[in-house]
């Protein structure tokens, strides 16, 4: 089973066990190696703003940032998955809570979406171009549906 660690540096109470369970499910569902490592950091608005400015050169807070490590990818059919450190998904629960209300699915739904989105970025997906956007958001929707319908 994947090795997922959560570091909650935000002031917001978050169900960390639920994030770990979802991350483990997603990594397994995508066929990543059982020893894949993932870090999830939950941070406040000031920290996410600083990271957003420093790494993306964009002002203000954001909801999620991804910092890949070993450039792991989903294995092709018949290919063996490689172990390694996938990277760090940094989420701001305060921003997520606001977006979750606006989207009508609350904090939990928004955290699920942001974690999925962040993991896809770690796996090399992007949404800068229309074709990439369609592919990434289609996969994101599939993964969320699988996670939410698993039981």
pLDDT classification of 104: cutoffs 50, 70, 90: very high
pLDDT classification of 150: cutoffs 50, 70, 90: confident
The whole-angstrom distance between residue 98's C-alpha and the CA centroid of its chain comes to 18
Q: Is-contact 97 12, C-beta < 8 A? A: yes
CA dist., res. 60 & res. 52, Å (int): 7
**Using one digit for the tens of pLDDT, what is the confidence trace for 13-67?**
999 999 999 999 999 999 999 999 999 999 999 999 999 999 999 999 999 999 9
- CATH topology for 3-148 is Collagenase (Catalytic Domain) (3.40.390)
Judged against a pLDDT cut of 90, whether residue 1 lies above it is answered with no
Give the count of beta carbons closer than 10 Å to the beta carbon of residue 97.
Answer: 17
Q: Which residues contact 40 (CB under 8 A, 6 or more apart)?
A: 4, 5, 6, 7, 19, 20, 23, 88, 89, 90, 91, 115
**Using one digit for the tens of pLDDT, what is the confidence trace for 66-83?**
999 999 999 999 999 999
Domains in the chain: boundaries: 3-148
């Amino acid at each position: 089973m994947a090795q997922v660690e959560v570091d909650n540096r935000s002031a917001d109470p978050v169900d960390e066990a639920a994030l770990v369970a979802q991350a483990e499910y997603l990594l397994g569902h995508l066929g990543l190696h059982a020893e894949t490592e993932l870090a999830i950091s939950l941070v406040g608005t000031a920290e996410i703003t600083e990271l957003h400015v420093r790494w993306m050169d964009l002002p203000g807070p954001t909801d999620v940032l991804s910092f890949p490590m070993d450039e792991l990818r989903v294995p092709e059919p018949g290919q063996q998955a490689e172990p390694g450190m996938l990277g760090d998904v940094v989420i701001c629960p305060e921003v997520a809570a606001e977006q979750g209300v606006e989207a009508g699915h609350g904090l939990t739904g928004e955290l699920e979406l942001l974690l999925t989105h962040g993991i896809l970025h770690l796996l090399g997906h992007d949404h800068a171009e229309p074709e990439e956007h369609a592919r990434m958001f289609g996969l994101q929707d599939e993964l969320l549906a699988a996670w939410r319908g698993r039981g």
